C-alpha cells in the first residue's frame, strides 16, 4: 500500500487489503503473545455468558474494555519489539520507554479486571 506521507510503496487503497492486514496482525498477536491470547479467551467466556443472559449493555461494556486492553497489549508488544530491534544491548532509556508502555497496559488491565469482575459477580448473584 502506498505511504501517504512518504509517497512510497504500491499505489492504491483497497479496504479488503486493510482488513486482511488487520486480521493478520490480530492473528499474530493471539498466536505469539500469550498475554493477548488469555485476555481474549477470558473476555469471550464472560461475553458469551452476558449474551446468554441478554444483558446487552453489559455485552457492549465487555467488548469495549476488552478492545481497550487488547489494543494496549498490542501497542506494548509493538513498542517492545521496536525497542529491541533498535537497541539490542541494555539501555536505560529503552527500559524507561518499555516501562511507560507497560504502565499503559496496566491501566487498561485494571479497567478490564474491574469490569469483568463486576460482570461475573452480577451474573453469579442473578443465578442464586
Query: Per-domain residue ranges for the chain?
Result: 1-32, 34-127
- Mention the CATH class of domain 34-127: mainly alpha
Residue with C-alpha cell 525497542?
83
Angle at 73 between CA 63 and CA 87, to 5 degrees: 165
Rounded distance, CA 87 to CA 61, Å?
A: 39
**Catalytic center residues:** 73
Grid cell digits, residue 128: 442464586
Can you give the pLDDT at residue 65?
93
Rounded distance, CA 102 to CA 32, Å?
A: 18
Rounded distance, CA 93 to CA 2, Å?
A: 33
Instruction: Please answer whether residues 115 and 65 qualify as being in contact, where contact means their C-beta atoms are separated by less than 8 angstroms.
Output: yes
Rounded distance, CA 8 to CA 127, Å?
A: 58
Can you give the pLDDT at residue 102?
93
Per-residue pLDDT of the chain (128 residues), as tens digits, is 556 666 666 666 677 777 887 788 888 888 988 888 898 899 888 888 888 887 788 889 889 999 999 999 999 999 999 999 999 899 999 999 999 999 999 999 999 999 999 988 988 888 87
Amino acid at each position: 500500500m502506498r505511504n501517504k506521507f512518504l509517497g512510497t510503496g504500491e499505489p492504491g487503497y483497497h479496504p479488503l487489503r486493510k482488513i486482511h492486514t488487520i486480521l493478520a496482525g490480530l492473528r499474530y498477536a493471539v498466536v505469539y503473545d500469550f498475554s493477548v491470547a488469555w485476555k481474549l479467551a477470558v473476555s469471550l467466556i464472560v461475553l458469551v455468558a452476558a449474551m446468554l443472559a441478554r444483558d446487552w449493555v453489559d455485552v457492549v461494556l465487555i467488548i469495549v474494555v476488552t478492545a481497550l486492553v487488547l489494543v494496549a497489549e498490542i501497542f506494548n508488544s509493538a513498542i517492545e519489539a521496536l525497542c529491541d530491534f533498535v537497541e539490542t544491548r541494555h539501555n536505560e532509556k529503552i527500559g524507561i520507554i518499555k516501562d511507560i508502555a507497560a504502565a499503559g497496559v496496566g491501566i487498561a488491565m485494571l479497567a478490564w479486571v474491574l469490569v469483568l469482575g463486576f460482570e461475573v459477580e452480577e451474573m453469579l448473584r442473578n443465578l442464586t
